[in-house]
Structure 1
Amino acid sequence: MLYVFFPEKKESIDHTFRTGIIVHSAGTLGNVEKPITEIFDQKDIDQYFNINFVSFVLVNNLFLKLTKNIVRQQLIINITSLAAIQSIAGFGLYSPAKAARESFLRSVLVDQPDIKILNYSPGMVDTDMVSELCRQTWNEETKNFSTDKQNRIPAEVTIRKLIQLLKENKFVNGSRVDYYDL
């Protein structure tokens, strides 16, 4: 993939990289200020899914295309959420977008069984996005849970667990692994 950015170096780049890795972590909350049943602006919904799902599909497919012949193994790591499998009040657009990502990757695995895929749910990581959720969510229970610092996991802690999981390579391909299960 380096030759895409450095075409003049194409011949000198070693085409035997062991693993090409993409980590999908980017995402947005969407409108958390009101329940999903009160969101009527199609433009906002389209924009949300374009950012959080459509771009995910396109970037992922580009990665697979560009690395197909230059790596021995392609690894897709999708940073997911409990919200992908369990509805949480105040996560109206976030939950279905996360679920769609996981579903898409199951389809990728059916089509391309040699690709390695991990859906990693890192727990509620102490990030700006969680702080934004605390400030903006309409749901008091979600706000209270998110505001309690004891429920938040430092990014370094969950990343260490992810790295250990990858080093041990003991996850089932295409599986969903939760921080709390490690």
Structure 2
Amino acid sequence: MSEIFAGKAFLVVTGASRGIGRAIAEKFASHLKNDSKVLLMARNLENLEKIADGMPRGLIILCKSVDFGQTTTKELQDALNDALRGEKPESFNQAIIVHCAAVVDYTRTANDLTDFSEWQTFFNVNMFSSAVLNGLFMKTFESSGVKKYVVNVCSYWGLTPDVYVSSYCAAKAAKDMFFKSFALENPDVSVLNYLPGLVDTEMLHDAYKKSKSEELVTRIKSALENNTVSTPEKTAECLVGVLKQQNYKSGDYVDFQKLNTV
């Protein structure tokens, strides 16, 4: 079995401008070999460029501003082509893609969600764009003999329902099932559904400030006060270790909280 960071890699990270996505991009980059290529994707180009500036100088990095709620197949394919910059896919030892882009609404009940366009945009970000980008990524490297790795950054809300987040629960559950099915169809690809734990991110603080669920707000407040939340850097480092060890069946969940005590 090849080691994920052993050779020249092509890495894609979505949602890379902040939080867990940013930490994963930075942590992975610190393990990549020189001349590896990194494609960072998110809406905030300025943040992406700042992150790229702090990465090892031996890497070739492209930052791409993408609105995953409105993106197209062509835009995503063009981003992959631009990152390759004429280099052949077979020149890489590993091709790694991390799906981390997400958006959450903490304020509305299921009965409030009656706008088709809002549903479309929401699922575009949280599910459809990942599925399309993943397919394009696989086609790019399908005949190259490159070892391929897929990481789907999951949420406990994809496993357990909750109030005021029904759209997010639905999208994350659909995304997880998609990657489980993808793993069955692609036994040559290493697929990991990674549960990152409760992490101190802007998204967590948004939930604390905006959620209409008193139970959720109380739970977050308690976790922050008792220092039982992880940092993005810690969960990203755990993910690196999991991928290096490969002690999981492709398509399975690996849960940060079951591997660590904060």
TM-score, scaled relative to structure 1:
0.89
2:124 — aligned with what?
50
1:179 — aligned with what?
256
The structure-2 alpha-carbon separation of the partners of 1:93 and 1:6, relative to structure 1 and needing over 3 Å to count, comes to closer
The structure-2 alpha-carbon separation of the partners of 1:46 and 1:167, relative to structure 1 and needing over 3 Å to count, comes to same
The structure-2 alpha-carbon separation of the partners of 1:16 and 1:39, relative to structure 1 and needing over 3 Å to count, comes to same
2:158 — aligned with what?
84
- Mind listing any 5+ residue stretches in structure 1 that lack a counterpart? none
- Mind listing any 5+ residue stretches in structure 2 that lack a counterpart? 1-9, 11-36, 38-79
| 1:28 has 2:98 as partner | no
1:167 alignment partner, one of 227, 240, 244? 244
- Which deviations, in whole Å up to 9, do the C-alpha atoms of 1:95-130 show, x marking residues without a partner? 111111111112212222211100000012111111
Letter in 1 for 2:232: A
1:129 — aligned with what?
203
Structure with higher RCO (Cα < 8 A, 6+ apart): 1
Distance in 2, Cα, partners of 1:8 & 1:126? 36
Shift of 1:174: 0.8
TM-score, scaled relative to structure 2:
0.63
Aligned residues: 179
Shift of 1:159: 1.0
The structure-2 alpha-carbon separation of the partners of 1:71 and 1:146, relative to structure 1 and needing over 3 Å to count, comes to farther
Secondary structure class of the residue paired with 1:15: helix
Secondary structure class of the residue paired with 2:183: helix
Pairwise CA RMSD: 2.1
| 1:99 has 2:180 as partner | no
1:18 — aligned with what?
93
Distance in 2, Cα, partners of 1:6 & 1:111? 27
The structure-2 alpha-carbon separation of the partners of 1:132 and 1:51, relative to structure 1 and needing over 3 Å to count, comes to same
Paired residues of 2:193 and 2:251 also in contact (CA < 8 A): yes
Letter in 1 for 2:174: A
Secondary structure class of the residue paired with 2:166: coil
